[in-house]
Structure 1
Amino acid sequence: MYKNIRITVLSHLLVWLTLICLPYLLSYGQEQDFSRVIAHFWIPLFFSAIIFYLNYFVLIDRFLFPKKMLYFIIINAVAIVCFLYLKEYIEDNFFKDIIKKSVLGAERVRPPFIIAVYIQILSYLAPLFFSIALKSTKRWIKTEAERKEAANFKLKSELQHLRYQLQPHFFFNSLNNIYALVDISPDQAKKSIHSLSKLMRYMLYETNEESISLLKEIDFMKKYIDLMKLRVSDKTVVNYSFPSEETGIKIAPLLFISLIENAFKHGVSASKPSTINIKMTCNTKTVLFVIENDNFPKKTEDKSGSGIGLPNIEKRLELLYPNNNRFKTAVNNNRFVAELEIETN
């Protein structure tokens, strides 16, 4: 903040110093009448600086931006008229010699009064318009920064909400699966509870970052698949293939787990053979995840699923990877296929 203030002050000083030196810069090598420079250039420049900073620090904020245009115009008009009068008064009383005679000693020929006034008014309107332009640009930049900050805050809030939505969804579905094992296989139920505690620890403590290592997410998915395999019968075959080497890719956590969860929820039958195929491939920046399972749709009266899995994925993809994702689902030959491709930065 202080650095920006210093840069602004130095910039203003540099501009005004350049303007003060302008008569000498434009007539390099020629002799300048110091009194003429003061009367015809530095005094109007001083008045222009007053108009500029009066508007920049006071009038624009108090009258122009609140749309009190009449007050803004009147105050500036009065200030310009006062400066025109003061300039003439100073010249008539302190610089009579340069008014009466030119450099060669002849009588000075003045331009028509109206034209002279018109030119001077334009010279004072220039700093006025420049201050408006500068102040408006500064206000626009500030407004745009605030808008982006608000949008970023909204994005983080939505993502946090989706994450909190996913965690209990995942937890309750896992508990339902373990509950089904209690009577059938108490030992497997105990093992499942232990595995679930590890998974929940990961979800609570490892997924708070915006992005995590792809290998960590893969390890989490493998543990979840192993947990889910405990409750399915021998009629269900689960095949999965994940990258085994470090890729350096980082992704948003918990993007793929809902697809795996849906495969076990809707792709497994207690009486019919079923197969779940899961495959992930990746290159330098792209991750492709494909999951395929038999399609055993839930009955209308079956309320075991909350139905938030796929909508959750779509919403998170929209927020996290806009224009950098491809997600599609289809049912082919009574097999459900979901394909998710993400292009990471």
Structure 2
Amino acid sequence: MYINDKLDELLNAETIRRYSITYKHHVVFWVIYFAINTLRWGSVHDDFALSLKTNLIGFPIHIALAYFNIYFLMPKYVYTRKYVLYAFLMVACLFIMLLVKFNLTYYLIDTNVMPEGPGETDSITFNYAMTTMIGELYVVAFATAIKVTVDWLREHSKLHELEKRQLTTELKFLRSQVSPHFFFNTLNNVYSLTLEKSNKAPEVILKLSELMRYLLYATRKRKQDLKSEIDCIQNYIDLERIRFDDSLQIDIGISGDMENKTIAPMLLVPLIENCFKHGATKSIGEIHIAIDINVTDDYMYFNVSNTVPKKEVEGKVATRGGGIGLSNVKKRLELGYTPEDYELSIFEKDNMFHVNLKLKV
């Protein structure tokens, strides 16, 4: 829980840093906006002094109304879906702004409050009211659009990072799901071999150590060398051979160029484990498992099959397609590869259970 809290804290801090509006940004925005507006209206009136005066009066009103809308009206009424009340209050604010701007302009600058108009305007006419309120609304909308866009980018980035972290966590969990029963059984075998003072005991311990080292360290990477994955499979099979002794017949074929080929770690082991779990442990009599791995160009063709347990054949149990091992592999393929990168088929034929995987490596 502590680690998750820390991750959330770091994630939020990084996202806020990436898409945050500081005081410096506010100042720069309004200074640039003020300069452009002053130059614009100075050119229109051919009087930059008048433009400077009117903007000095108008911009504090712009700023106050923009921030009042962004930090009060929108959170309180728009985000809570009170749109009618929001519209009413916005119109009321624009009207109050109109009265304030008219009186400040009239008494501090010029009685002609609308010099760009067709004639002299010394009272609040309909044209003056509409022009001023729409102009004010334009400024407020522009500032609000910037704030909403930055907020959306921040939330979108945060959501993306959370999804990415969730996928990474899920993949790590799936990679770690090799049956603990395998290790218990192997340790029991080691115990029996040590009691018998068998020469096989040191070899079994060494192979188990290599397998555990691979599980601990290689699975931290997103991709692992294909050759290392196959070495892990061979160690796993060697350990299972000891467990089942002469009742187990395994045919293994490995071919192709594996140099510079990579694969998601522990992707194939659950498929091999599945053969022993559902084939070897449930069969009575001869057990046959066939494994063929071939690398051609950029693709690995992995085919594994095992004898269907006699109880399942006699009871006409449906083909196994939803075991934990197979579900694990399907989920990892979905999370770690694109649909174009792999083909997975699972079927039963001639009392043999088959899993065929074509994977881009």
Fold in common (TM above 0.5): yes
Residues 67-120 of structure 1 deviation map (CA, whole Å, 9 limit, x = unaligned): 4556644554443223211222122222337569999xx973679811221121
- Equivalenced residue count is 336
Secondary structure at 1:253's aligned position in 2?
coil
1:205 is aligned to 217
Query: Of 126, 149, 152, which aligns to 2:161?
Result: 149
1:91 is aligned to 105
The answer as to whether partners of 1:276 and 1:292 remain within 8 angstroms in 2 is yes
Structure 1 residue runs of 5 or longer lacking an equivalent are: none
2:141 is aligned to 129
Secondary structure at 2:295's aligned position in 1?
strand
Give yes or no for the alignment of 1:52 onto 2:69: no
2:227 is aligned to 215
Give yes or no for the alignment of 1:337 onto 2:354: yes
1:318 is aligned to 334
2:75 is aligned to 61
1:165 is aligned to 177
Give distance in 1, aligned partners of 2:146 and 2:45: 36
Give yes or no for the alignment of 1:239 onto 2:256: no
Residues 111-168 of structure 1 deviation map (CA, whole Å, 9 limit, x = unaligned): 9811221121111112333344333333333332333333334334433443443241
Give yes or no for the alignment of 1:24 onto 2:36: no
CA RMSD, 1 decimal? 4.3
The answer as to whether partners of 2:112 and 2:122 remain within 8 angstroms in 1 is no
Give yes or no for the alignment of 1:250 onto 2:262: yes
Give distance in 2, aligned partners of 1:170 and 1:6: 55
Cα shift at 1:10? 4.7
Give distance in 1, aligned partners of 2:351 and 2:153: 55
Give distance in 1, aligned partners of 2:350 and 2:23: 68
Distance 1:8 1:223, change over 3 A: farther
Distance 1:3 1:180, change over 3 A: closer
The residue identity in structure 2 corresponding to 1:90 is L
Give yes or no for the alignment of 1:138 onto 2:150: yes
Residues 12-51 of structure 1 deviation map (CA, whole Å, 9 limit, x = unaligned): 62564255334535876x9822343145555334422332
Distance 1:208 1:69, change over 3 A: same
The answer as to whether partners of 2:256 and 2:295 remain within 8 angstroms in 1 is yes
Distance 1:298 1:252, change over 3 A: farther
Secondary structure at 2:75's aligned position in 1?
helix
Secondary structure at 1:337's aligned position in 2?
strand
Residues 225-280 of structure 1 deviation map (CA, whole Å, 9 limit, x = unaligned): 33334444287252220556421x43321110122223345566775484623213
- Provide the TM-score with structure 2 as the length reference: 0.73
Distance 1:98 1:265, change over 3 A: closer
- Provide the TM-score with structure 1 as the length reference: 0.76
The residue identity in structure 2 corresponding to 1:321 is Y
1:283-294 paired onto structure 2 within 5 Å: 283-284=297-298, 286-293=299-306
